[in-house]
Amino acid sequence: MTKVLIVDDASFMRISIRSMLEKDGFEVVGEAADGLEAISQYKTLQPDVVTMDITMPNMTGIEAVKGILEFDAKAKILMVSALGQEKFVRQSILAGAKSFIVKPFKSEELLDAITKIASI
């Protein structure tokens, strides 16, 4: 079973992603509301995949990607961005994220992206 850490500052987004993942048999091992918490949770929980929002308080998703990859160079991170954040998506991929999806997204898009990343 693929273990996932969900990172998003919006609680409704975390709840929505958790619901989609658990319905499809993924194990959500934790949630974080900002980049600092994401790095801390990653170190503790060691998930297989992280879903990472880009725009968050305290530390952005891009900074968190760098922090997680410093700790674990093999980390698998899926960026979740809002429409119109293309430059941030590019920065995220350059920082080491494996892929991205754009909000709003369908459950199938999320599940496909996580399944692909988990199998890399």
Give tens-digit pLDDT for 17-30: 999 999 999 999 99
Q: Is the pLDDT of residue 36 over 80?
A: yes
For the chain, list the domains and their CATH numbers: 3-118 (3.40.50.2300)
Q: Is the pLDDT of residue 60 over 80?
A: yes
- CA nearest neighbour of 55 among 77, 34, 37: 34
Six token digits for residue 93: 């991929």
- For the four alpha carbons of 57, 59, 63 and 67, in that order, the dihedral sign comes to negative
Contacts of 115 (CB under 8 A, 6+ apart): 2
Question: What is residue 59's predicted lDDT score, i.e. its pLDDT?
Answer: 96
Question: What is residue 26's predicted lDDT score, i.e. its pLDDT?
Answer: 97
Question: What is residue 93's predicted lDDT score, i.e. its pLDDT?
Answer: 93
Question: What is residue 6's predicted lDDT score, i.e. its pLDDT?
Answer: 98
- As a whole number, the mean pLDDT across the chain is 95
Q: How far is CA 57 from CA 19, 32, 94, in A?
A: 24, 11, 21
Give tens-digit pLDDT for 101-116: 999 999 999 999 999 9
Mean pLDDT of 42-47: 98
% the chain with pLDDT above 90 = 91
